[in-house]
Amino acid sequence: MTPELGVCYYPEHWDEALWAEDAARMVATGISWVRIGEFAWSRLEPTSGSYDWAWLGRAIETLGAAGLKVVLGTPTATPPRWMLDRHPDMLALDADGRPRGFGSRRHYCFSHEGYLADCRRIVTALAKRYGANRHVAAWQTDNEYGCHDTTLSYSAAARDGFRNWLAQRYQSPDALNRAWGNVFWSMEYADFSEVGLPNLTVTEPNPAHAMDFRRYSSDMVVRFNRVQAEILRAHSDAPLIHNYMGNITDFDHFAVGADLDIASWDSYPLGFLLDRVDTGEAERRRYARQGDPDFQAFHHDLYRAVGGGRWWVMEQQPGPVNWAPWNPAPLPGMVRLWSLEAIAHGAEVVSYFRWRQAPFAQEQMHAGLLRPDSAPAPGLGEAAAVVEDITALGEVRQEEAPVALVFDYPSAWAWDIQPQGRDFSYLGLAFDAYRALRRAGLSVDILPPDTERLAGYPLVLIPGLFAWTDTLRAVVERHTGVVLAGPRTGSKTADFSIPVPLPPAMPGLDLTVTRVESLAPGIEIEIEGGGLVRRWFEHLEGPAPGLLRSAAGDVLAMEGKRAYLAGWLDAAGWDRAIGLAAGAAGLEVDPLPEGLRIRDCASHRFAFNYAPEPRSYNGRTLEPGGVAWWPR
């Protein structure tokens, strides 16, 4: 596959006289895809029921005539103001019961039937009109589901929908009471109509109640997307894509992805470093202009799985953004590095956000490839450099990685509901495991829990899994490679209770977690020989020998090819654990220079230097922001 570049464009923001010139400049840069339309509802349907398609038709024609392929977005992330007059109760309510009002975007509740009907209407109109258009080569549904904390809504629509969902799941209030353990604190219900949402309770709600609400809310996102996918498929053969947002785990991306053809995500490495990555101050300063060395790769690997192998970066940061606490400019070369790293992980398209910086409204401080005066911004030159790199690279082919990391969205909900220690985060734990694998020079496939594909990997990591499923248990039972699970893996039933026999009940490993403790910042357990346990520690019982030990008990126990990790480790501890597990799996570990990362695909080995100093690797010196590759 030869990767391609794209760009996000808003014809409705610019004088029509500029469109043809913009399109010609995109093509001259080497860009082949342009995404449009995803926020344009107020211009497509200025008043309820009266459409204006003419401008969009001319925009598609102008871009297409220049040789660009169009990704057409459905505009449902930005319902126009008149929509609120039609559905005054369509707004999501936050956990404190306050409406999330009009004046920005994503102001809708996924459970609202009336809004969903209007989405069906606009998507149908759009699909009928452009489904067979020769320039529309892909579709994007909505924009960044869940962004700005919009998956969960505590509205009346959500309450009613949740009750129906529970009635279908449990069939009788008795079954629900039993599953949730509602005898505790006399929380039993006599009828589904008595069940409320798990907010505004005096103290914490029952975790089983909260977990079912998270499942329900995720299902509502899946339903919302499926409605659009079915309509688009009925009118178009072009592939369907959604652009997920990094670090968002509030809905099951695998379940949404099952209804689409390609996954994409929006990659803002500098914004994420300051806003979302749990790293120390020193690291933040060190990587302020490069971004975290593993955060992008983690999401690339995650979305490759969500897309069933097919994935894009739909929005790539081109310069300073506007939404992080501070918004530095990338080091020269980083926009190119980020783009090539995505390509190394299998991206079919890397698309920049956005073409021209908008001088007005919320994102006026957000860079584009062009400045507001249409002169080139630094990102444009880097995009042009990537075009040359793509020619030099030739075909980039993927292969199965030697390591699989299981990632499970319900586990993220579970530990959000019951962290037990304030800083316990499922994504954080999975990400720490991923970083250690990368520091060891290993390429990684991220996979959902219920796939037979896991059986083919020499090393499988299952950190922090909420509940074993029958499929995953069966896979682990039969697996001939090494499986490293824990901490917290298999520590609940699907109903959010502690299973008996006690966890981890891992096939092939005679081991019991007898008690768990969370550790406040500054409280650490030293691992004999190097490394620390922080945040979380479990006390183990059983004959499995401890490969990493501490005065408080074994930290890593392993028997044959089954290993269990009893704590949340620091980097040094993780490096030792990964070294032991990879060694048992017969994998070669190649500890990398600080800040340097590699990615192996079938056709190339890539190296990326995130460090602010030059780094040597494999006979080459990489400047800060430098990229090197070797054919394999």
Q: Return d(Cα 517, Cα 260) in angstroms, integer.
A: 41
Catalytic residue chosen out of the listed positions 315, 341, 348, 538: 315
Do β-strands 136-140 and 69-73 pair in parallel, antiparallel, or remain unpaired?
parallel
Residue closer to ligand GAL (CB basis): 44 or 527: 44
CB atoms within 10 A of CB 106: 19
372 or 507: CB nearest ligand GAL: 372
Assess whether 526 carries a catalytic annotation. no
Question: Does residue 315 carry a catalytic annotation?
Answer: yes
Q: How far is CA 542 from CA 3, 159, 341, 461, 491, in A?
A: 51, 46, 43, 21, 17
- Output 353 or 617, the one with its CB closest to ligand GAL: 353
Please identify, using beta-carbon distances, which residue of 10 and 51 lies nearer to ligand GAL: 10
Q: How far is the CB of 506 from ligand GAL (least distance, A)?
A: 39
Q: What amino acid is encoded at 140 in this protein?
A: Q
Q: Which residues bind ligand GAL (CB under 6 A)?
A: 143-144, 147, 245, 266, 268, 315, 321, 323, 353, 363, 366
Place of tokens 């501070």: 326
Token digits of residue 546: 């401890």
Cβ nearer to ligand GAL, comparing 328 with 612: 328
Question: Hey, which residues does 403 pair with through a beta bridge?
Answer: 444, 459
User: Least distance to ligand GAL from the beta carbon of 448, Å?
Assistant: 24
CB of 363 to ligand GAL, least distance (A): 6
Q: Please, which residue, 165 or 353, has the CB nearer to ligand GAL?
A: 353
Q: Are 614 and 627 in contact (CB under 8 A)?
A: no
Which listed residue (4, 38, 144, 348) is catalytic?
144
Q: Any idea what the Cα angle at residue 609 is, between residues 603 and 612, rounded to 5°?
A: 175
Least distance (Å) from ligand GAL to the CB of residue 268? 5
**Cα–Cα distance, 571 to 556 (Å, whole number):** 15
Task: Give bridge partners of residue 549 from the DSSP assignment.
Answer: 554
Q: Can you point out the beta strands (E) in 155-296?
A: 240-245, 262-267
**Residue keyed to tokens 């390429």:** 443
Q: Which residue, 198 or 368, is less far from ligand GAL as judged by CB?
A: 368
Provide the CB-side half-sphere exposure for 43 (13 A, CA).
Answer: 16
**Contact residues for 279 (Cβ-Cβ < 8 A; gap 6+):** 273, 287, 292
Residue 55 corresponds to which amino acid?
W
Beta bridge partners of 620: 617
Contacts of 352 (CB under 8 A, 6+ apart): 5, 6, 7, 8, 315, 316, 318, 335, 368, 369, 379, 383
Q: Minimum Å distance from CB 321 to ligand GAL?
A: 5
Q: How far is CA 113 from CA 83, 213, 252, in A?
A: 13, 18, 21
Collapse the DSSP code of 445 into the 3-class scheme (helix H, G, I; strand E, B; otherwise coil) and give the result.
strand
Residues carrying an active site annotation: 144, 315
